[in-house]
């Protein structure tokens, strides 16, 4: 459990009172970073992401904040809300649904290995949507779940966001391909916290790989979109990645560091593996100073 989060220190102010041998990252006008008081005397990692939030997963107390109220596109992080709304609807997850022309991406013109005509149980479509961020699977789930189709489903997503107190969030589609799906790190932490209450979401977002049979009777191998899950070195209870050009590389997760569950939100990281590098930097920073933020009893 985190200790003594009575106040916050801007790191540039903390630098003036550092103990011998310690240092703190200066506060820049364009890059305001705040850390919990107990961590202010240790150099915080310089992260590539535009927005970052690390919370104590038990108490909700913040450990690291960077532009947490900056609203921006969230790409496939959207699919966590899609999954919650689907499960809340009570629709039969064992029923088969099929991919149709309606699932072809006419926004970003992305490709998919789920060919038109692919038929799978809803539960398996949900697995592909959450594990591999399969857009056609998410779109088919939204189209078939409710009377009124996708439009009614997206309305439910926005209703759910309001119920969760996500006041700076809006959804326009169930996949995240629409750049108008926007949120903040603070709101997405609320969404991660809510998604933890769904065992199926926890299971599917942390599944490493899965095979399906294609319409041409070939075996298709799908892998988790998150390298940290595939590597198996993290204790991750729930996660989701996202990427479109407008959103950059994004990641949210609930992971245990030491013995402490954390909610980590990383938005608009740089290219390639920068979101993974940012997550590793956060973990290393915390593990280097466990006496400062992790209870010893």
Digit-coded pLDDT (tens) for 249-287:
999 999 999 889 999 999 999 887 999 999 999 999 999
Of the candidates 79, 160, 240, 283, the residue annotated as catalytic is: 79
Domain end position, chosen among 210, 227, 244: 227
Average pLDDT over residues 123-130: 98
- Assess whether 79 carries a catalytic annotation: yes
Of the candidates 133, 225, 268, 292, the residue annotated as catalytic is: 133
pLDDT classification of 7: cutoffs 50, 70, 90: very low
Average pLDDT over residues 47-62: 94
Please tell me the predicted confidence (pLDDT) of residue 66: 96
Percent of the chain topping pLDDT 90 = 77
Residue 110 lies in a domain: yes
Residue 187 lies in a domain: no
- Assess whether 76 carries a catalytic annotation: yes
Q: How confident is the model over 150-207, as pLDDT tens digits?
A: 999 999 999 999 999 999 999 999 999 999 999 999 999 999 999 999 999 999 999 9
- Assess whether 123 carries a catalytic annotation: no
Q: Which residues contact 217 (CB under 8 A, 6 or more apart)?
A: none
Share the mean pLDDT of the chain.
88
Taken in order 251, 199, 90, 123, the sign of the CA dihedral is positive
- What does the alpha-carbon distance between residue 267 and residue 248 come to, in Å, rounded to a whole number? 7
pLDDT exceeds cutoff 50 at 87 = yes
Please tell me the predicted confidence (pLDDT) of residue 9: 39
pLDDT exceeds cutoff 80 at 29 = no
Q: What angle do CA 261, 264, 266 make, to 5 degrees?
A: 170
Alpha helices in the chain (DSSP H): 11-14, 78-89, 122-131, 135-145, 149-163, 185-195, 199-205, 227-231, 274-288, 290-293
Which CATH number fits the domain that encloses residue 151?
3.40.710.10
Instruction: Write down the residue that tokens 């594990």 correspond to.
Output: 131
Please tell me the predicted confidence (pLDDT) of residue 23: 34
Tell me, yes or no, whether 140 and 222 share the same domain.
Answer: yes
Least confident of 30-39, 118-127, 150-159: 30-39
Tell me, yes or no, whether 92 and 204 share the same domain.
Answer: yes
Tell me, yes or no, whether 288 and 205 share the same domain.
Answer: no
Tell me, yes or no, whether 98 and 48 share the same domain.
Answer: no
Q: How confident is the model over 62-85, as pLDDT tens digits?
A: 999 999 999 999 999 999 999 999
pLDDT classification of 235: cutoffs 50, 70, 90: very high
Of the candidates 48, 51, 66, 76, the residue annotated as catalytic is: 76
Residue of 176, 225, 180 whose CA lies nearest to 77: 176
Q: For the chain, give percent helix, strand, coil, nearest 5.
A: 35, 25, 40
**CA 146 from centroid of its chain's CA atoms:** 25
Tell me, yes or no, whether 161 and 124 share the same domain.
Answer: yes
- What are the residues facing 65 on neighbouring strands? 34, 53
Tell me, yes or no, whether 113 and 133 share the same domain.
Answer: yes
Please tell me the predicted confidence (pLDDT) of residue 294: 62
Residue 189 lies in a domain: no
Tell me, yes or no, whether 214 and 136 share the same domain.
Answer: yes
Please tell me the predicted confidence (pLDDT) of residue 146: 98
Average pLDDT over residues 212-221: 93
Residue of 42, 3, 61 whose CA lies nearest to 289: 42
Say whether 8 sits in a helix, a strand or coil. Answer: strand
Contact 9, 44 (CB under 8 A): no
Q: How far is it between the farthest Cα atoms of the chain?
A: 67
Residue 191 lies in a domain: no
Structural domain range at position 204: 76-178+199-227
Tell me, yes or no, whether 67 and 82 share the same domain.
Answer: no
Alpha helices in 26-134 (DSSP H): 78-89, 122-131
Residue 25 lies in a domain: yes
Tell me, yes or no, whether 98 and 137 share the same domain.
Answer: yes
Contact 173, 198 (CB under 8 A): no
Tell me, yes or no, whether 56 and 139 share the same domain.
Answer: no
* Tally of domains within the chain: 2
Tell me, yes or no, whether 43 and 27 share the same domain.
Answer: yes
Tell me, yes or no, whether 100 and 240 share the same domain.
Answer: no
pLDDT exceeds cutoff 70 at 140 = yes
């Amino acid at each position: 459990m985190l200790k003594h989060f009575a106040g916050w220190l801007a790191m540039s102010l903390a630098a003036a009172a550092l103990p011998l041998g310690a240092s703190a990252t200066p506060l820049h006008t364009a890059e305001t970073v705040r850390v919990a008081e107990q961590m202010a005397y240790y150099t915080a990692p310089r992260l590539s992401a535009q927005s970052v939030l690390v919370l104590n997963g038990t108490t909700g107390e913040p450990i690291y904040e960077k532009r947490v109220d900056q609203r921006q596109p969230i790409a496939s992080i959207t699919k966590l809300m899609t999954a919650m709304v689907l499960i809340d609807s009570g629709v039969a997850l064992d029923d088969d649904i099929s991919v149709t022309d309606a699932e072809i991406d006419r926004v970003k013109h992305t490709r998919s290995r789920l060919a038109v005509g692919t038929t799978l149980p809803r539960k398996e479509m949900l697995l592909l949507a959450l594990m591999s961020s399969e857009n056609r699977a998410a779109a088919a789930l939204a189209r078939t779940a409710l009377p009124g189709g996708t439009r009614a489903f997206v309305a439910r997503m926005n209703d759910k966001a309001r119920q969760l107190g996500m006041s700076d969030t809006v959804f326009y589609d169930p996949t995240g391909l629409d750049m108008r799906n926007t949120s903040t790190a603070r709101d997405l932490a609320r969404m991660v916290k809510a998604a933890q209450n769904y065992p199926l979401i926890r299971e599917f977002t942390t599944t490493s790989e899965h095979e399906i049979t294609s319409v041409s009777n070939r075996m298709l191998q799908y892998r988790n979109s998150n390298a940290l899950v595939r590597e198996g070195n993290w204790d991750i209870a729930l996660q989701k990645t996202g990427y479109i050009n407008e959103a950059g590389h994004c990641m949210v997760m609930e992971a245990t560091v030491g013995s402490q569950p954390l909610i980590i939100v990383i938005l608009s990281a740089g290219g390639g593996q920068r979101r993974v590098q940012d997550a590793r930097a956060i973990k290393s920073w915390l593990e280097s100073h466990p006496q400062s933020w992790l209870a010893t009893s």
